């Protein structure tokens, strides 16, 4: 299931002040002119946008959008912005969008990805429908049943398929965006979960991806994940530090847990208020962005 997206305000674009340099005179030595021009460019901010780092060329980013009914176009718009952001850092980006996001196409596209971003419907456990976890249906990817099924029918490929048929790059990171259950939340209209149920949902949703090679699984049900992409490519922060760098962090009601599904993994939930679990991360959270970059 899925909920509507809350789009955090974006910072206004900053442009460098314009200006013209005085024409050089024959009395100004060439070296002195070069130094003066360089200083002027730096002062004006013209050189602020550095070229993409060379390491990013070896990074594969896979962006997948499953069917989401009336929200499909919104999610695709978000996904394209994430893809453009990753490309701006020099990464190789593969995109698979509904209505063509079938299991066969997605499975092929995400192999070896350093970063997997998935948007769409989510199906997790515990849920109101079943008393036991069904690894074939929950805690995985919500995709198109066929290439002709449109944007309303969802086929869930659970953690079994993720952990047995997908192999991510070493130290990969997974971003789950707008998926119900993934960060602990319930479906719209359902009662808020207990802290225990929310922790179990986060732990379960991360398990298959961590078994597939990921080191951290971030979930943002309402907010955007562009901040994670930014800090993965540009910082030396740990996964927990990146989580707390979110513009939507609240901190006041945070809860942590030691994973029972993945040995050595820990999780953090950052609810907006008690019971409102829309942000989480689970995995080996001391790993840094430097380690993530191959």
pLDDT in tens, 112-144: 999 999 999 999 999 999 999 999 999 999 999
Q: Which residues contact 247 (CB under 8 A, 6 or more apart)?
A: 8, 223, 227
Checking if the pLDDT of 36 tops 90, the result is: no
Q: Which residues contact 144 (CB under 8 A, 6 or more apart)?
A: 66, 67, 98, 99, 100, 101, 102, 150, 153, 154, 155
Residue 256: the pLDDT is 97
User: How many other C-beta atoms can be found within 10 angstroms of the C-beta atom of residue 147?
Assistant: 13
Q: State the pLDDT confidence band at 55, using cuts at 50, 70 and 90.
A: low
Residue 31: the pLDDT is 35
Q: What is the mean pLDDT of the chain?
A: 86
Above pLDDT 70, what percent of the chain? 81
pLDDT greater at residue 16 or residue 67:
67
Token pair 């993945």 in the structure block, residue:
262
Each residue of 80-93: pLDDT tens digit? 999 999 999 999 99
Checking if the pLDDT of 208 tops 60, the result is: yes
Each residue of 185-204: pLDDT tens digit? 999 999 999 999 999 999 99
Please state, in angstroms and rounded to a whole number, the distance separating the CA atoms of residues 113 and 109: 8
Nearest to 242 by CA among 275, 191, 291: 291
Q: Are 236 and 291 in contact (CB under 8 A)?
A: no
Checking if the pLDDT of 48 tops 80, the result is: no
Residue 53: the pLDDT is 59
Checking if the pLDDT of 35 tops 70, the result is: no
């Amino acid at each position: 299931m899925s909920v509507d997206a809350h789009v955090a305000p974006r910072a206004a674009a900053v442009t460098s002040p314009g200006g013209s340099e005085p024409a050089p005179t024959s009395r100004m030595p060439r070296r002195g002119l070069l130094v003066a021009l360089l200083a002027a460019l730096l002062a004006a901010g013209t050189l602020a946008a550095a070229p993409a780092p060379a390491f990013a060329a070896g990074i594969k980013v896979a962006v997948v959008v499953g069917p989401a009914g009336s929200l499909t176009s919104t999610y695709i718009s978000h996904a394209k912005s994430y893809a453009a952001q990753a490309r701006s850092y020099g990464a190789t980006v593969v995109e698979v969008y509904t209505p063509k996001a079938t299991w066969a196409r997605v499975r092929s596209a995400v192999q070896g990805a350093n970063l997997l971003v998935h948007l769409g419907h989510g199906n997790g456990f515990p849920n109101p429908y079943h008393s036991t976890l069904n690894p074939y249906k929950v805690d995985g990817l919500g995709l198109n049943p066929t290439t002709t099924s449109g944007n309303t029918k969802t086929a869930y490929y659970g953690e079994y398929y993720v952990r047995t048929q997908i192999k991510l790059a070493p130290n990969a990171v997974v971003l789950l965006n707008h998926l119900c259950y993934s960060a602990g939340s319930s479906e719209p209209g359902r009662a808020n979960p207990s802290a225990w149920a929310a922790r179990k949902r986060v732990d379960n949703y991360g398990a298959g991806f961590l078994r597939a090679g990921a080191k951290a699984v971030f979930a943002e049900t309402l907010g955007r994940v562009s901040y994670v992409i930014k800090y993965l490519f540009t910082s030396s922060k740990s996964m927990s530090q990146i989580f707390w760098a979110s513009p939507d962090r609240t901190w006041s009601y945070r809860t942590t847990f030691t994973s029972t599904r993945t040995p050595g993994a820990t999780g953090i939930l950052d609810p907006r208020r008690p019971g409102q679990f829309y942000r989480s991360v689970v995995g080996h959270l001391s790993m840094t962005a430097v380690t993530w970059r191959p």
